[in-house]
């Protein structure tokens, strides 16, 4: 930031006014904002190490516990299920069009899927890959039950975090974003709170400068030393 400030102080001031707005207006508490930032940086669609470390440090300073941060990392991991949410329906459609039938499957118990349905957390978008591979789907859902059934975060906070994961610039998964916005509103989230989540996602854009400015400075120095 010091180097960027030296090169373009006007733009830095403008950009920081915009990106730090959620930290200043009091709509979301600082711990929640930092947990969102950990999620956006650590998401399996992003894996931004420096940002993850910076926001873990800030979350700890804001009072977050190890278990809370670990829960965010678990959520960041299981969002990879969207590969199946996207691909499995297409597979079913294209296989039907091609006249290809799946291999017969033996009946199998799916207790984790049953529990997800029982607690009201089953997503119909999961039906296609459950149809294709119920055993594997149950194995995956076993990793998610602890997140959805946990009392560590309020249901509203879980939905706000989920909005951030799905709306993040490296993911932009529209079906999940809509589903979690709808759920957050039903749980009492305000439009202003949800908008703050989206603004925090936008603030992630500064990682481009955190990454690129030091590299530019190094390469300029090397170029000028030729």
Per-residue confidence (pLDDT) for residue 20, from 0 to 100: 95
Per-residue pLDDT of 10-57, as tens digits, reads 999 999 999 999 999 999 999 999 999 999 999 999 999 999 999 999
In the chain, the domains with their CATH numbers are 2-224 (1.20.1290.10)
Q: Which of 128, 116, 42 is CA-nearest to residue 86?
A: 128
Per-residue confidence (pLDDT) for residue 151, from 0 to 100: 87
Q: What three-state secondary structure class fits 28?
A: coil
Per-residue pLDDT of 111-132, as tens digits, reads 999 998 998 889 899 999 999 9
pLDDT at 150 over 90: no
Query: Average pLDDT, whole number, for the chain?
Result: 94
d(CA 199, CA 203): 6
Burial class of residue 13 in the structure, from the number of CB atoms within 10 Å of its CB (0-12 exposed, 13-18 middle, 19+ buried): exposed
- With 0.75 as the threshold, say if the pTM is over it: yes
Per-residue confidence (pLDDT) for residue 121, from 0 to 100: 84
């Amino acid at each position: 930031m010091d180097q960027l400030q030296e090169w373009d102080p006007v733009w830095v001031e403008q950009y920081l006014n915009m990106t730090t707005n959620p930290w200043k207006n009091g709509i979301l508490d600082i711990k929640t904002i930092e947990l969102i930032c950990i999620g956006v940086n650590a998401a399996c669609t992003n894996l931004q190490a420096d940002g993850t470390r910076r926001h873990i440090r800030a979350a700890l300073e804001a009072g977050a516990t190890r278990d809370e941060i670990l829960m965010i990392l678990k959520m960041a991991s299981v969002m990879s299920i969207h590969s199946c949410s996207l691909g499995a329906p297409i597979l079913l459609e294209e296989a039907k069009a091609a006249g290809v039938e799946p291999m017969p499957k033996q009946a199998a118990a799916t207790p984790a899927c049953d529990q997800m349905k029982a607690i009201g957390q089953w997503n119909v978008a999961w039906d296609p890959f459950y149809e294709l591979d119920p055993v594997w789907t149950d194995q995956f859902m076993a990793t998610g039950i602890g997140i959805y059934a946990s009392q560590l975060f309020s249901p509203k906070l879980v939905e706000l975090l989920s909005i951030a994961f799905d709306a993040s610039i490296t993911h932009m998964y529209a079906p999940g974003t809509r589903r979690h916005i709808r759920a957050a509103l039903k749980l009492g989230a305000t439009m202003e709170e949800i908008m703050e989540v989206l603004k925090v996602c936008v603030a992630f854009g500064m990682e481009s400068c955190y990454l690129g400015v030091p590299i530019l400075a190094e390469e300029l120095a090397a170029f000028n030393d030729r």
